[in-house]
Amino acid sequence: MNSSSQTRKDFPILERNINNKPLVYLDNAASTQRPLSVINAVSNYEMNYHSNVHRGVHKLSELSTNAFESSRNKIKNYINAESEREIIFTRGATESINIVASSFGQSFKSGDEIMVSQMEHHSNIVPWQNICKKNNLKLIMIPISKDGEIILDEFAKLLNSNTKLVAITHVSNALGTINPIKKMIHQAHEKGAVVIIDGAQAMSHMKIDVTELDCDFYAMSGHKMFAPTGIGALYGKEKLLDGMPPYQFGGEMILSVNFKETIYNELPYKFEAGTPNISGVIGLGAAIDYLNNLNFDDIKKYELNLLNYLSEKLLQISGLKIIGKPKNRSGVISFMFDNIHAHDIGTIVDKEGVAIRTGHHCAQPIMDFYEVSATARASIAHYNTKNDIDVLIEALNKVKEIFS
């Protein structure tokens, strides 16, 4: 349970002070911190073997290409995909979803339906809105309960033979709800719909197995799983990716070009135009190594314990209200505090060294659902401790003092 003192040492930033107080970083859903091993993997690349990949015969290019492709292999193994061809490097979850919307979306026809839950992040709504407007499709909202859970009966009723795609988040970044995606994927498949899972919030908290889930696409953000910013991945079933037109055009994604005709490269390169984010990919590979050394059974227990402790302590503060009450929760608790605006809460706790996020969390539809304009959100990683929570609670009491 206090294994985390060793864990914390892996993350150099956790040792810093903010406003002369030790940093208490509870903004992990916005972005996790990186272990030293990831930071070092990137600088080691820059110092010792940086070169463009794939097209060079010289040693540096060989080294960087090997490291690059071995990261792809690591991800493939980590999420249990069938082949490296199913792993596309992207800038993050947003780009992963945009690729599917823009490329796979071209196969949709007027009258087809796309289903999106009410608890999605903007990046899993707006790309679908756009393709719906363009191709005259229907965007159907999957409703949620007051507890912040998808209403499965409603979902089942909404599914029909026009449903072409279902887009759901694995874990909600605003509520922490873990959605029953395996079941939903199965139901959607029965109606012939394809399912894309937004995994941005899941990867740092649990082990993913895309084969077991049987999802068609799975979107990942590196910076939310201990890797650098600017890198992410899209998993897609090979037979789907194979049939999709390319997304961006340029070097790497072509086999041959002349002014009359261009022949595209095979998977996964078809979707990776231009020089990739090599250092980001290498950082992501190092983050997978880091994840591979974690025991997620223990971590799940540890984090759940922390979340329960947090929720208990929060509810002891009078006037404080937690948003959503999902049975399965991971990582995140959002709350409101009397009439005090989240923004003011954020500033005051920051003075105590506590980093939480305040605002709409890029999930305005869910804010509308709860009829709030902003919440405060504390989000944890496995390196957080009970002490972090105690400091937050104390800081919240200061908020109360000031606004009393």
Ligand X SMILES: Cc1ncc(COP(=O)(O)O)c(C=O)c1O
CB of 257 to a second copy, least distance (A): 5
Among 2, 3, 9, 12, binds a second copy (CB under 8 A): 12
Binders of ligand X among residues 148 to 187 (CB under 6 A) are: 169, 173
Choose between 56 and 251: whose C-beta lies nearer to ligand X.
251
Distance CA 238, CA 248 (A): 18
Are 97 and 232 in contact by the 8 Å Cβ rule? The answer is: no
Assess 65 for contact with a second copy (CB under 8 A): no
Assess 126 for contact with ligand X (CB under 6 A): no
Among 115, 348, 354, 378, binds another protein (CB under 8 A): 348
Among 121, 164, 205, 382, binds a second copy (CB under 8 A): 121
Q: Which stretch binds ligand X (CB under 6 A): 68-76, 86-94, 135-143, 385-393?
A: 86-94
Choose between 161 and 256: whose C-beta lies nearer to another protein.
256
Among 94, 179, 204, 334, binds a second copy (CB under 8 A): 94
Among 43, 255, 298, 394, binds another protein (CB under 8 A): 255
The catalytic site residues sit at 362
Distance CA 5, CA 232 (A): 29
Q: Residue 26: which residues within 8 A CB-CB, separation 6 or more?
A: 354, 355, 356, 378, 379, 380, 384, 388, 392
Assess 330 for contact with ligand X (CB under 6 A): no
Binders of a second copy among residues 129 to 168 (CB under 8 A) are: 129-130, 139, 141
Assess 230 for contact with a second copy (CB under 8 A): yes
Strands 320-323 and 262-264 come out as unpaired
Q: Which stretch binds another protein (CB under 8 A): 43-51, 254-262, 277-285, 325-333?
A: 254-262
Distance CA 355, CA 357 (A): 7
Q: Which one of another protein, a second copy, ligand X, none is in contact with 374 (Cβ closer than 5 to 8 A by kind)?
A: another protein
C-alpha 4, offset from chain centre = 23
Q: Which stretch binds another protein (CB under 8 A): 187-195, 208-216, 308-316, 341-349?
A: 341-349
Choose between 249 and 293: whose C-beta lies nearer to ligand X.
249
CB of 17 to a second copy, least distance (A): 10
Distance CA 328, CA 312 (A): 16
**Site track 59-78 with another protein (rule: CB under 8 A), x = hit:** --xx--xx------------
Are 176 and 330 in contact by the 8 Å Cβ rule? The answer is: yes
Assess 341 for contact with another protein (CB under 8 A): yes
Q: Residue 153: which residues within 8 A CB-CB, separation 6 or more?
A: none
Assess 19 for contact with another protein (CB under 8 A): yes
Q: Residue 281: which residues within 8 A CB-CB, separation 6 or more?
A: 67, 68, 71, 72, 89, 231
The site for ligand X (CB under 6 A) is made up of 29, 92-94, 121, 123-124, 169, 173, 198, 200-201, 221, 223, 251, 274-275, 362
